[in-house]
Structure 1
Amino acid sequence: APFFFEKPKAMSVEEGQDAEFICKIMASPTPEITWTQGNRVLKSGGRLKITTETSGQLYTTCLVIKKIAPKDSGNLLLVASNECGEARAMLSLEVEKVEAKPEEKPEPAAFVKVPKNCETLEGETAMFDCKVLGEPRPSLKWFKDDQELEEERYIVDYNSSGVCEFSIRDTVPTDAGWYTCTVSNPHGGQSMRAKLILHLKPKTEPAAFIKVPKNCNTLEGETAEFDCKVVGEPRPSLIWSKDDQELEGERYVVDYNGSGVCVLYINDTVPSDAGWYTCTVSNPHGE
């Protein structure tokens, strides 16, 4: 008599999906295989497809019900019979109803939090943030000087709740200025501007001479002058000395102006003023 090598399994299928039942039967001689539901014998056609494949005494039968509907719920009976007897298998089919999604109401893209001005230091990361709403979800773009920003330094993090963070890494002086965020969907759009204020790092330059002092000849009692010009950032400090002693006293006048020009005046010169004078300039970056 026929017997089940592999019985079909009960199924729970979401409405609109396909259901497939597979069963393997051992039998000899060839069995007659029927699928029924209630009082109805199922036949291939329309949404139903029944196939049977044979390999020796093994028969594989398959029932496919396409686009399952609630009316397909219920018990299915599979019967395999021949002159030696029969085998029966009962299984259930449950259809899960899909709840209709609420209809989405169209809503134009708009800002619920606008980007604000950002202030940061050159070389640091600048960030603007905003929040938008709209249905369908708005597209979002950032611009500067009417050019869309697409370099790797520009990072846009726009999450599903409508919050957007726009970051500019490794800021440079040319990043300063106005930025525009534009949001849009098929029902409308908006643009908002915010300004990046960038504080530039002070330039650094070691102290150095660009004009060195030259030897000076003068008469006793006259005024001797040495002049030079220096550069550096921050502005270098400047010291005049003779014989390793810093010059102090009313006869020594140092005129050191904002453009880096320095003049040392030695008034009412005396014989002991003769000799070598040293001008030393320095700042935190060099001497």
Structure 2
Amino acid sequence: IPATPPTFVSDLKNKTVTEGESVTLECHISGHPQPTVTWYREDYKIESSMDFQITFKAGLARLVIREAFAEDSGRFTCTATNKAGSVSTSLEEVSGEPIPPFFIRKPMQFGPAHFECRLTPIGDPTMVVEWLHDGKPLEAANRLRMINEFGYCSLDYGVAYSRDSGVITCRATNKYGTDHTSATLIVKDEKSLVEESQLPEGRRGLQRIEELERMAHEGIYYKNFVRLI
């Protein structure tokens, strides 16, 4: 079979994506013998890595960018080469659209003093997440545990005291802006028994507290509960 130079059956297409999202660039290539494929960002060769996954199977050349950020914007080129020739296709820009933090789920809690919420964009290296009590920053300590991973944010109180009552705020900041979300923690007396309810009306909350107090007197220990307002 005579050698034929590489040909792009389909070219790269320009793309715009939200910052932090995965993006896939692909094109179809024919040619004999099978071409070797090289990817470039501007004039720099891209090597396969955790952040950039390169594959070429059955004529489909693909580059997957695990997370796209604004600094990834630029010209991406795919070059196919065999002994009969070489050909390239480019897209002008892959831009991570800059977005400020946004809480897609507000703090929720059912059980011990534990707050959690969901945040976007995911994987933003400029993102700073803080927890505050009545506007004052909280710091991780023996009885406070904070997690911020892949858009999941949580705050755990190992033990809650009456002085911990107040407005608990999660605040996220990146170079494009700030967002925050809050809930109210009420710790009742030294036993750390609090009401858990999002319903302001009446009897359900009162009956719940009375039930918990009855159980506590009967020797059933409830560490703490949370009311979100």
TM-score by length of 1: 0.37
Query: Which structure dedicates a bigger proportion of its chain to helix?
Result: 2
Query: Which structure dedicates a bigger proportion of its chain to strand?
Result: 1
Larger Cα-atom Rg: 1
The structure showing larger relative contact order (alpha-carbon pairs under 8 Å, at least 6 residues apart) is 2
